[in-house]
Amino acid sequence: MLHALSRFGRRRTLQTGAVLAVVLGLLAWWLQPRGDEGDPSGSLTFSTGVPSGVYQRYGERLEGALAKDMPEVSIRLRTSEGSQQNLARVATGEADFTIATADAVATYLRDGRPGAQRLRGCVRLYDDYVQLVVPRDSDIHKASDLRGKRVGVGQQGSGVRLVADRLLTAAGLDPAEDITPVPVGIDTMPVRLTQGQLDAFFWSGGLPTAAVQELSQRFDIRLVPLEADLVAKLQAATGPTRFYRSAMMPADAYPQAQQGQSVPTVAVANLLVTTDRTDAAMTEAFTRTVINSRDRIGREVHAAQLVDLRTAIYTDPLDVHDGAKDYYRSVKP
């Protein structure tokens, strides 16, 4: 009898020990660091903008931060004409991430362009400010004064072209007939202005844009005010124009050009954009890096300082990507 009880006790002890070992093993697995498991890997293409624009300068610095945070991902930057071309690339799979203005996104969606319904937002970034630049001694003092002038309106695939055409229309001008439109980008417009090949040019970018800042330091320019009544006419067109708002360029954006004066203008938000094809882990990591690198990049690209976690999730007119949602949940107080 004692021998049987002894065998029973040993059996219970072994069973208990086995269960305890399994529990401890599961607990150890749960608590252990995940290491690189689940970290994004592979490659991605980031479509930026013209070489001297803010999109490209921001992209170059973001590339370094991404390389540090996602060491298993190969990152390729690809310059572009701007927002419209960027959206077409991402929507059709030629690029994985990009930056585009909200009005350009809304236009792409409204027009039902290829892949439009696959577009997703990751981060609301900084605002672009429309800058109408003229020589200081120019007789152009408002948008309607552009009649008959040679005007740089941005490349066909740019967000600048969208807003320039809309502003000209709001000012009572036909963008194709009442001016001589010159479809060039910020990489060549300043030189053309100094050489007398342009009377004015439109630019839409973060403040300050290096190309405009450098121009103001070697050539006397002014920024033409885009007053609230013009913006009201612009917004009256409805649809994508609802993303425009009246804003003031601070007096210190371009000190030489503004001479201590703030300038009324139009602003529109920039969005970090991807598609529903992009892996959730990759998107979460990309979003995290954009937010975490704000201050570091902002020391070199001032516009990056304006990325704000409190508003980053508002990517209207796009739904937020599931991976970006995962990031925002992870940092929610």
> Per-residue pLDDT tens for 15-70?
555 444 444 443 443 444 433 446 899 999 999 999 989 999 999 999 999 999 99
Q: Are strands 97-101 and 263-275 parallel, antiparallel or unpaired?
A: antiparallel
Question: Which residues, in sequence order, are CB contacts of 106 under 8 Å at separation 6+?
Answer: 239, 240, 242, 243, 317
- Kindly indicate the confidence band of residue 149, based on its pLDDT and cuts at 50, 70 and 90: very high
Give Dmax over CA atoms of the chain in angstroms.
115
Report, as an integer, the average pLDDT of 187-196.
Answer: 97
What token pair was written down for 245? 């708002």
Domains and CATH numbers, the chain: 42-125+270-331 (3.40.190.10), 128-269 (3.40.190.10)
Distance (Å, whole) CA 82 – CA 204? 10
- Kindly indicate the confidence band of residue 219, based on its pLDDT and cuts at 50, 70 and 90: very high
- pLDDT score, position 288: 98
Cα radius of gyration (the chain) = 27
- pLDDT score, position 8: 46
Report, as an integer, the average pLDDT of 146-159.
Answer: 97
Digit-coded pLDDT (tens) for 223-242: 999 999 999 999 998 899 99
Decide: helix, strand or coil at residue 122. Answer: strand
Distance (Å, whole) CA 51 – CA 81? 9
> Does 14 score more than 70 pLDDT?
no
- pLDDT score, position 9: 52
Q: Which of 1-10, 75-84, 213-222, 238-247 has the lowest mean pLDDT?
A: 1-10
- pLDDT score, position 26: 39
Please check whether residue 204 is in contact with residue 129, taking contact to mean a CB–CB distance below 8 angstroms. yes
- pLDDT score, position 237: 84
Nearest to 325 by CA among 115, 118, 67, 315: 315
> Does 5 score more than 80 pLDDT?
no
Digit-coded pLDDT (tens) for 112-129: 999 999 999 999 999 999
What mean pLDDT is reported for the chain? 91
Distance (Å, whole) CA 128 – CA 99? 11
Digit-coded pLDDT (tens) for 169-186: 999 999 999 999 999 999
Digit-coded pLDDT (tens) for 260-309: 999 999 999 999 999 999 999 999 999 999 999 999 999 999 999 999 99
Please state at what angle helix 102-110 crosses helix 83-91, rounded to 10 degrees.
50
- pLDDT score, position 110: 97
Report, as an integer, the average pLDDT of 304-325.
Answer: 97
Report, as an integer, the average pLDDT of 234-255.
Answer: 94
What token pair was written down for 316? 């209207």
The full DSSP string for 4-51 is: HHHHHHHHHHHHHHHHHHHHHHHHHHHHS--TTTT---EEEEEE---T
Please state at what angle helix 159-170 crosses helix 228-235, rounded to 10 degrees.
100
pTM, rounded to two decimals: 0.86
Distance (Å, whole) CA 7 – CA 12? 9
- pLDDT score, position 12: 54
> Does 187 score more than 60 pLDDT?
yes
Distance (Å, whole) CA 174 – CA 297? 40
> Residue-wise over 238-276: b if at least 16 C-beta within 10 A, else e?
eebbebbebbebeeebbeebbeeeebbbbbbbbbbbbbe
Distances from the Cα of 115 to the Cαs of 94, 111, 112, in angstroms? 11, 11, 8
Q: What angle do CA 107, 109, 113 make, to 5 degrees?
A: 95
- pLDDT score, position 15: 54
